Structure 1
């Protein structure tokens, strides 16, 4: 597999930054009104966290060039982790 370009790393970093800002924007606490729990907002933030985690693992931990079993294992781990976090929130 060919090395990842600086341009790709920059685009990934910008996407990660945008996801971070979007997660912050979705949070109800910065509007000046009392924060009210929202399942939809929580689900959105959990999904964004999973996407960020996958991007970090794939591009900054070099799993994208790893054997297929490792890529699948990390994807499975992320799915279990973020599903458990959301399940605990709902419980």
Structure 2
């Protein structure tokens, strides 16, 4: 006789959190695409505020991917802080290179 698998509240909560993260990541992807200057009627040219916005969205996306899909949100605090520091350094470096 087989029994139906039981789901715990924590499993359902984790599944819901991952689904919400996926929806937010998809929305950020669409927003980044929408910000592209090719959608305007005029000639596409570089815009600092658009680039800064897309870089900030890239930081948010990469942090969410590391937290939710690489399971760092349940890791020790030192690992969460290390990944946040690495991401901040990486994306700040990209921003400085772009603005320089």
- Distance in 1, Cα, partners of 2:50 & 2:69: 27
- Distance in 1, Cα, partners of 2:76 & 2:16: 24
5+ long unaligned stretches in structure 2: 1-9
* Aligned residue in 1 for 2:87: 78
**Of the candidates 34, 40, 43, which is equivalent to residue 34 of structure 1?**
43
Aligned positions of 1:6-85 closer than 5 A: 6-85=15-94
- Distance in 1, Cα, partners of 2:41 & 2:29: 20
TM-score when scaled to structure 1? 0.90
- Distance in 1, Cα, partners of 2:23 & 2:74: 21
5+ long unaligned stretches in structure 1: none
Root-mean-square deviation over aligned CA pairs: 1.3
Say how many residue pairs are matched. Answer: 90
SS across alignment from 1:7? helix
